[in-house]
Structure formats: C-alpha cells, structure tokens
Amino acid sequence: MAEVNKVVITGLGAVSPIGIGKEKFWELLIQGKSGIGKITYFDTTEYPTKIAAEVKNFDYDDYLTTKEANRMNKSTKYSIVATRLALEDAKLDVSKEDNPYAVGVILGLGVGGLETIEEQHKILLEKGPRRVSPFFVPMMISNIAAGEIAIKIGAKGPNEIITTACASSTHAIGTAFKLLQQGDAQIIISGGTEAAITPMSLAGFCSMKALSTQNDQPEKASKPFDKKRDGFVLGEGAGILILETLSHAKERKAHIYAEILGFGMTSDAYHITAPAPDGEGASRAMEVALEDAQLEPAQVDYINAHGTSTPLNDKLETLSIKQTFGRHAYNLKVSSNKSMLGHLLGASGGIEAIATALTIKEDLIPPTINYHDPDPDCDLDYVPNKAESKLVRYALSNSFGFGGHNGVLVLGKYNEKGR
C-alpha cells in the first residue's frame, strides 16, 4: 500500500459576525463576544424572528474592484476576501507555484446565491424579463465561488463546491484532505461561505419553527445545550483554510497550525430535517473519523460541537458523543461556537475548523456562552461562558446537516517527530 501524504493547515481566513481576520475572530471568540443582533438588512416587522448574526464592517475594496463586486453574490465576495486573508496568513503566493494544476479550491456552500435570486426575481416581476441582469446566472449558481477564486489566483487543480446543507464545509475540507493525501494536489484552498440572511430564507426557517424567537436580547438567544434553548440563529460569513501536503509546507518553511488526521461521513437515512433519534449516524461518523486518524477515543481532548441551540440537535449530539466515547465523554471538553456566531449554515464547518485549529495551536478552548440552565439530556462539560486553558492534542469538529448528512474532522497538534 502506497504511503499517503500528511496534510497540514498553514493559513486561516475568517469573515465572521464577530470579526474579520483570524486575529479579531479569535480574540472575540475567546472573550465570549456575541455577534448576534437585530437584523438590519430588511424589515422584519412581520417575522417572528427578528435577529441574526450579520457580518459587520465588511470591506472588499482591497480585494475587489467595484465593477467586480457588483457582478458577485455576497457569498462569493465573502469567500474571496477570506481566501485572500488565508493566503496572506500562510504567506503563500500561488502565482509563484511551479505547477498551477497542483493548486485546488474545494469549498462548501449550503444555500447559494439566494440574495441574488430574490433580487432578480423581483426585477422580473416588476420590470419584465429584459431587465434581468445578464450576470444573474453566474452570480447565483452555487459553484461560482470556487470558480471565481480559481480565476483570481490562477489555481488550475481540483475545483468544486460541495452542498450538503450544514455539513457542506466539513465535507469540503474532508474531500480536500483526501485529495491531498493521495497526491492529486499539493495545496487546496478549502472551507466554506454563506450569505443567507435574506427575506425568503428567514421566512422559510421561521415557517419550520427552526429559529430562536428570543428577540429581546439577541446576544443571549443562541444557547446551545442549555435547557431554555429554542432554536438556532442565522449567521453568515466565510471560513477559509489553506491545506497543504506536509512536504510542500516544509519545503517553503510554512507556519503550521495543526495537522488534519481523519475524516468521517455518514447519512442518518432518517428524515429531511430531524436527526436520527438514536444518534447512530452522528456517532458512526465520529467513529469513522477516529478510525481514519488511527486514534482511540480516549486520546481526544476536545470536540468543537455542531451545537445549534435547537432542542433535538443538542440532545442527540450529546447522545452520539456518549455512544462514541463511552465514559471518556465526561472527560472531554465540548463547546459550540454557534453560541456567538449563530449558524453559518454551509459555512459553519469552515469557520469552526478555523476555531478548532486555533484551539489546538493555542491550547485554549472557546466557551459556550449563554449556558446557565443545565438540561438533564445534555450532561457533558460544555465549557460554559468562559474560555478554558487546556492541553489539546487531538480534537474533533462536528457538522450535521438537513437531509441526515454527517461530517467529522479530526485535527491534531503537528509534531515534527511524528506521533
């Protein structure tokens, strides 16, 4: 059997509701700062939910011309800025690579260009078909973010968008990991992007009764694993990571945040939105990821949970963790970034992989904020309200999506001498 390449993370780019750039994102995440507030993009008078985690102070001027930006959906703009931030962080200039076909882009995107679809549909109804933008199709199609990034930086290798709802980015990173392992590329830009805080999106999630309606104190509305949780909060942004084969990273003396060790994915094959009541699919995805990483459950120190703040998800994620880890589940630290960021849908796995890599690098675990009222069904250590210093050698990042899609990444400290 041929030896597989080791894969490492060398660059991080965040466009998030709590900050833009790795440094600001991490600083506020550790502080337990919420990015959730009243929706400013449109009038929410008739909506039961009036809150979301919007990206604030977003400035693309250093990365795109006004003409370019006007021809892009917001999710694409987020991904391009996050990619540039990640490349700068990695000190990587793709144009100087000997083989552009060894540089790929694999992203996750859940909803796609919904904002563009809504805007152009209104134009169609009010002004007729001749007034629909000639850029409508390339702006709204889901694959365009990966295409635009490749065009901007000259990446001619593997290129695709993966759409598996809230597991999209984790599946994208897992796919990139496997391609790098088997030598199909040397560098892959991966992660995800999403911009779905729109009138239609909010209306749909409200109709499903999936969202929190705790509008009076937006920053306290997302409370994963707390007994008074009542639904998730929509978020937006992009989380982009630079993944490289270890040999390529070492050759250019790159800074390494963490190593990707394993990936697992399964399907609940149960329901279009609800997780399986026995937690089996999520548990099996964690088991597969650990087997891929050649780790025993007892070696894991931390789980970056999917932790949506919905009654069913948090209860069943807790159950699945206990099924996978047995008694060791009570030794684990488990926390949810969504308590601060809201739920970035298809981009959530990307931004949470960044947080997991930084947790490993810094030995500092972000808290689950708004955790005050324990739920008997959620009885693990969720790092309530305050970050904790702890040696983190190995960590999982969980993502579970509508349709029963489960994805789990295993990250570990990079050790030059090997494990």
Residue 80 lies in a domain: yes
Torsion on CA atoms 59, 242, 19, 120, rounded to nearest 10 = 50
Contact call for residues 188 and 181 (beta carbons, < 8 A) = no
Active-site residue, 121 included:
no
For the chain, how are helix, strand and coil distributed in percent, rounded to 5? 40, 20, 40
> Residue 62 has what pLDDT?
85
Q: Are residues 110 and 247 in the same domain?
A: yes
Predicted pLDDT at 1:
52
Which structural domain range is residue 68 located in?
7-251
Distance separating alpha carbons of residues 390 and 413, to the nearest angstrom: 13
Q: Identify the domain boundary among 223, 251, 279.
A: 251
- 160 and 132 inside one domain: yes
Q: Do 91 and 153 belong to one domain? A: yes
Which tokens belong to 110?
């859940």
Question: pLDDT (tens digit, 9 = 90+) per residue, 284-300?
Answer: 999 999 999 999 999 99
Neighbours of 386 (CB within 10 A): 13
Whether residue 101 is predicted with pLDDT greater than 80 in this model: the reply is: yes
For this structure, is 343 an active site residue? yes
User: Does 392 lie in the same domain as 337?
Assistant: yes
Are 42 and 127 found together in one domain? yes
Residues 6+ apart with CB under 8 A from 114: 140, 195, 196, 198, 200, 201
State the total domains in the chain. 2
Using the 8-state DSSP alphabet, how is residue 101 labeled? G
Among candidate residues 166, 206, 378, 405, the one labeled active-site is: 166
In a domain, 419, yes or no: no
Over residues 275-288, mean pLDDT? 96
- The 10s digit of each residue's pLDDT in 123-141 is 999 999 999 999 999 999 9
Name the token pair of 320.
């699945």
**272 and 245 both lie in a single domain:** no
Q: How would DSSP label each residue in 356-369?
A: HHHHHHHTEEPPBT
Give helix 22-31 / helix 348-362 axis angle, nearest 10°: 80
Would 99 be classed as within a structural domain? yes
The verdict on 276 and 218 lying in the same domain is no
**pLDDT at residue 197, rounded to an integer:** 98
Integer Cα distance of 58 and 408 in angstroms? 30
All residues at 6 or more sequence positions from 329 whose CB lies less than 8 Å from its CB, including other chains: 321, 322, 380
For residue 419, pLDDT beyond 80: no
- Among candidate residues 206, 343, 378, 405, the one labeled active-site is 343
Phi, psi of 407 (to 5 degrees): -140, 135
**pTM of the complete model beyond 0.95:** yes
Residues 21 and 141 in one domain: yes
Per residue in 27-73, pLDDT (tens digit) is: 999 999 999 999 999 999 999 999 999 999 998 988 899 999 999 99
Residue 417: per-residue pLDDT: 73
Burial degree of 273 (CB within 10 A; 0-12, 13-18, 19+): middle
Point out the catalytic residue in the list 206, 306, 378, 405.
306
Does residue 24 form part of some domain? Answer: yes
Give the CA angle between residues 396, 205, 72 to the nearest 5°. Answer: 80
Residue 206 forms part of a structural domain: yes
Q: Does 2 reside within a domain? A: no
Boundary of a domain, candidates 207, 224, 251: 251
- One domain, residues 97 and 29: yes
Examine the domain organization and report whether 99 and 239 are in the same domain: yes
For residue 313, what are the contacts with CB-CB under 8 A and spacing of at least 6? Answer: 275, 306, 307, 400
Within a domain: 256: no
Mean predicted confidence (pLDDT) in 356-382:
98
CA distances from 110 to 68, 71, 81, 261 (A): 23, 20, 19, 25
Q: What are phi and psi of 252, to 5 degrees?
A: -100, 10
Distance CA 409, CA 243 (A): 13
Q: Residue 416: which pLDDT band, with cuts at 50, 70 and 90?
A: confident
Residue 28 and residue 70 in one domain: yes
DSSP letters for 208-261: TT-B----SSGGGS--TTBTT---B-BB-EEEEEEEEEHHHHHHTT----EEEE
Asked if residue 417 is part of any domain, the answer here is no
Question: Position 304: which residue type?
Answer: N
The domain boundary residue, chosen from 251, 282, 305:
251
Find the CATH number of the domain harbouring 62.
3.40.47.10
Assess whether 97 and 177 both reside in one domain: yes
Give the whole-number percent of the chain exceeding pLDDT 90.
97
Coil/strand/helix, residue 324: helix
